[in-house]
Amino acid sequence: MTTNLVIMGPPGAGKGTHAKEIATHFHIPWISTGDIFRKHKAEKTELGKLIESYIDKGEFVPDSVTDRIVCERISQSDATAGFLLDGYPRSIPQAKVLKAVLAEANERVDAAIYLDVSAAEVKQRLLKRAEIEGRTDDTPEVIDHRLEVFFEATQPLLDFYEQEGVLRKVDGEGTIAEIAQRLLTVMEEIERN
């Protein structure tokens, strides 16, 4: 049985913190588009330079680029039992591409987990992360822009997965342990279905 999952939430919602545990729980790879993008940036590939030009402005990488990267990644052998996508899809067109690719293999997204965190909490977390990690994409101006773009693009996506019957909203505020416990409850529910 495959388990194909999507984890969503605003930048700084804790997706990376919790995705590893979820992936381990289901014995599937955690596929972070952000990590893939940062790897290309660090290696200064042509794709990395293109990606950097978008990320540094707080904009999303175009669908054509992201779709290609994700579809290539989920076709790899370690993803045959499923996967956890982190950072994809971020738009309805991306969600439809993913749905079509999975349908070709008689599969689907089994659950879209949304970490629900307020904009104020996210901004505070990102500024702290920028301080600790020295990330150039976490300036106050870029954070505001990323949040605006995120919430604008994400509401339709939440509606899409709600209509698909796979949306699971999880309160993403509180301690890491509290959030992990809420996620465990959702994971057990996914396993039962």
From start to end of 99-174, where are the E strands? 111-116, 167-171
Q: What is the pLDDT of residue 41?
A: 86
Domain that holds residue 12: 3-192
* Catalytically annotated residue among 41, 129, 169, 182: 129
Catalytic residue among 73, 123, 125, 146: 146
> What global pTM score does this model have?
0.86
User: Three-state DSSP class for 58?
Assistant: coil
Instruction: Determine the distance from the C-alpha atom of residue 77 to the mean position of all C-alpha atoms in its chain, rounded to a whole number.
Output: 21
Mean pLDDT per 10-residue section of the chain, whose length is 193 residues:
92 90 95 88 88 82 89 93 93 95 95 94 88 78 86 90 97 95 94 86
Alpha-carbon dihedral 176, 156, 139, 68, rounded to 10 degrees:
90
Give SS3 for 168.
Answer: strand
Cα gap 116→18, rounded to integer Å = 13
Return the CATH number at 43. 3.40.50.300
146 catalytic per annotation: yes
Among candidate residues 25, 27, 65, the one with its CA nearest the CA of residue 49: 65
Partners of 57 in beta bridges: none
DSSP state letter for 78: G
Residue 147 is predicted with a pLDDT of 87
Where is the binding site for ATP, in residues?
12-17, 129, 174
41 is catalytic: no
Catalytic residue among 15, 123, 125, 168: 15
Is 15 among the catalytic positions? Answer: yes
The active-site residue, picked from 90, 123, 125, 168, is 90
Total tally of structural domains belonging to the chain: 1
**What confidence score (pLDDT) does residue 137 get?**
67
